[in-house]
Amino acid sequence: MTLQTTTPLHLKRTIALCFLVALMEGLDLQASGIAAQGMAAAFNLDKVHMSWVFSAGIFGLLPGAFVGGWLADRIGRKRVLMASVALFGLFSLITALAWDFNSLLIARCLTGVGLGAALPNLIALTSEVAGPRLRGAAVSMMYCGVPLGAALAAVIGIADLAGGWQVVFYVGGVVPLLIVPLLGVYLSESLLFRSAKDSAPTGVVQGLFRDGAALPTALIWVSYFFTLMVVYILINWLPSLVVGQGFSGRQASWVMLALQVGAAVGTLFLGWVMDRLPAWALSALIYLGLLASLTALGLADHLQSMLLAGFVAGFFATGGQCVLYALAPHFYRPSIRATGVGSAVAIGRLGAMSGPLVAGKMLVLGTGTTGVMLASAPGIVLAAVAMFYLSVRRHGPAPD
């Protein structure tokens, strides 16, 4: 599909609707971190139990992302997106009504399935309606809804509304259910999907490793795994780590707000500079900035320095993640694009799931915040190398 087949109204409406879904996805992804102290007190959970609560939601993201992408290449991006939004909205509400540790784990896992299925469809719809020339900017505008939604969750934590830890899950459940009818009425199916569905190969998954796609697929998976590992350590554990450094729970919520504001700014800025910086400069900027900010988070001892470090960490961690999301669609034909993006997101979720578990174990061993942050360094280096190569390859011909 070219820009000539997409009207400006169609482009704006698709980005706006996908932005709304991304906003609610970001709120729910951050919700467990914001509600962690209240949940731990309500169910008498220690750090290891909370690690499982965090990882249960992330575990659901993995099959959700892969199956959601795979289904989207068969029955359509719009249908799968509507079903996934309804699913994560429903189980966010059930999270607020959980009665014990096991029901909490199940609710978070099934919420994650819905969240995981939504993201590859958001990326596929936005990238296909924008076309190759505007893909980076369009995906960035859509994806900035994720950190803004997480910032909204932080605001709810700061407000300390009556209703306790459940409030953020009520918001994360009701609003997505209200968005589903809007998607049904106003969201159009991808024209590229319509034109490609009849020619989709029988073995779609095998298409990820054919016709020169094998190496990009492997490198995309490496970048997603290690980048999302760091992002989800920050999303899930940063509030507790900040409290462990002597700050109050409300101050921790302010740090999370700074993290997500930085993420939104980084998403837009880094998406804008994708086509303006050399590949090596973009990779170095993102991952050196990430290493520096993680070190600062571990060493900060004043609220002002912690807020600045949180902002910079969000800028480079989530901004870099968005650059990866904008890169991935470039390497796959329309008939397997959602599957390719979904598989990459699923692999990234393995990193996201392992991150909070590793962080929890390290804290139990007494390594402290600095140890948790610095342990991420080797993975960041690997992700940087893979992203550098992908950025170079991006300047070849697109498969659209």
CATH label of the domain that carries residue 284: 1.20.1250.20
Query: Is residue 98 situated within a structural domain?
Result: yes
Label residue 199 by pLDDT band (50, 70, 90).
low
303 closest CA partner among 261, 236, 249, 363: 249
Inside any domain, residue 398: no
The answer to whether residue 248 sits within a structural domain is yes
* Strand ranges in 3-115 using DSSP code E only, listed in sequence order: none
Helix axes 249-273, 8-43, angle to 10 degrees: 150
Q: Which amino acid is at 22?
A: A
pLDDT at 3: 38
Residue 111 lies in a domain: yes
Q: Which amino acid is at 104?
A: L
State yes or no: pLDDT of 362 exceeds 90: no
Is the pLDDT assigned to residue 6 strictly greater than 70?
Answer: no
Total tally of structural domains belonging to the chain: 1
Distances (CA, A) of 40 to 47, 51, 55, 97, 109: 8, 11, 15, 15, 17
Q: Indicate whether 399 belongs to any domain.
A: no
Does some domain include residue 318? yes
How does DSSP classify residue 6?
S
Measure CA 116 to chain center. Answer: 9
3-state DSSP call for residue 145? helix
Please state the rounded mean pLDDT for residues 157-166: 72
Res. 400 pLDDT band, cuts 50 70 90? low
198 in a domain, yes or no? no
Which tops the pLDDT comparison, 233 or 184?
184
Domain that holds residue 347: 3-192+203-393
Q: Identify which of 192, 56, 214, 182 has the alpha carbon closest to the alpha carbon of residue 130.
A: 192
Count the Cβ atoms, other than its own, within 10 Å of residue 364. 12
pTM: 0.75
In this prediction, residue 93 has a pLDDT band, given cuts at 50, 70 and 90, of very high
pLDDT, tens digit, 9 for 90 and up, residues 285-307:
888 888 888 888 777 778 888 89
Retrieve residue 305's tokens: 């320095």
Tokens 């998403």, residue located: 267
